[in-house]
Amino acid sequence: MKLYSKILASGSYLPAKILSNKDLEKMVDTSDEWIVSRSGIKERRIVADNETSADMAYNATVDVIKSSNIAPSKIDLILVATSTPDILFPSTACLIQRRLGLNNIPAFDLQAACTGFLYALATADAFIRSNSYKTILVIGVDTVSRFIDYTDRNTCVLFGDGAGAVIVQASDEPGIICNEIHADGSGEEILHVKGHIYNGELKGHPYMAMDGKAVYKMAVRNLAEVATSVLTKSGYSNEQVDWFVPHQANLRIIESTAAHLNISMEKVIVTVDIHGNTSAASVPLALDHAIKNGKIKRGDLLLLEGVGAGFTWGASLIRY
């Protein structure tokens, strides 16, 4: 019998604090009109001072376990996509494992910036198809706000914090149909955080730096190409896609990519207006939001994609 992997359930967590565009007007030289016109973002969530990436990831895990109706003991692998771990080590995945009381199962983090969840999903799919594991917890989480300079209006208006999770399980029916992931390290200079600890001291600039125009051009081109490739490999057309769930970086990028793919915006899941760019949490947050609001239903064909620093990008075609 051929083995497939399927998304069993989704879950999410957002911090309580809302940072609106009106709030940002008091912090930096910007306006609600300027932010919305350039990004489509109206508000974003920000972690509390005593809240961590692991806290958010755990809360999203509790939510997905509740939605899945399975016992945590069934989980045999934990994958966490994050660029913002609270500590260098142990990994965020190991911290989640401890909180769940699961001993001996493997747990590790993946770092592919905003594309992290797509990388983790592809990894989970490969593990299940190889019959290595049967029930995998996949989390995307980032506390981007802690690496943002709130005097830089080109970056501070775009990002927020959050966590999203799915449980991927072995199935005899196709679920995750096709994954494709890419990277191009020559894009390092257009989006990065170069600050690091060296001999106990902070070296380099500790905040995000971004060339917005270069990111836009690379994002739209690569996202359109990888989505088209996944559809072609799978033998599906864009007309057969029920829901397009893109990385929620910027509404203009989302709209341009959808136009390149000839997918109507009526079939696009958009949460960037209320979440901002939550990096690796972006796609699973949008997915869970659409499922809980009754848009995405069992049997729907989903096209997921992400793009991020590295430069990294990827897509997944999924029968939910």
Q: Are 305 and 108 in contact (CB under 8 A)?
A: no
CA nearest to 142, candidates 273, 292, 13, 240: 13
Cis peptide before 72 (omega within 30 of 0): no
Catalytic: 69? no
Catalytic: 114? yes
Task: Return the SS3 of 307.
Answer: strand
Catalytic: 277? yes
Query: Of 114, 178, 179, 289, which one is the catalytic site residue?
Result: 114
Query: Of 179, 250, 277, 289, which one is the catalytic site residue?
Result: 277
Q: Are 79 and 63 in contact (CB under 8 A)?
A: no
CA nearest to 273, candidates 18, 11, 7: 18
Beta strands in 106-236 (DSSP E): 107-110, 135-143, 161-171, 176-183, 191-192, 196-198, 201-203, 209-210
Query: Of 59, 156, 247, 289, which one is the catalytic site residue?
Result: 247
Residues identified as active-site: 114, 247, 277
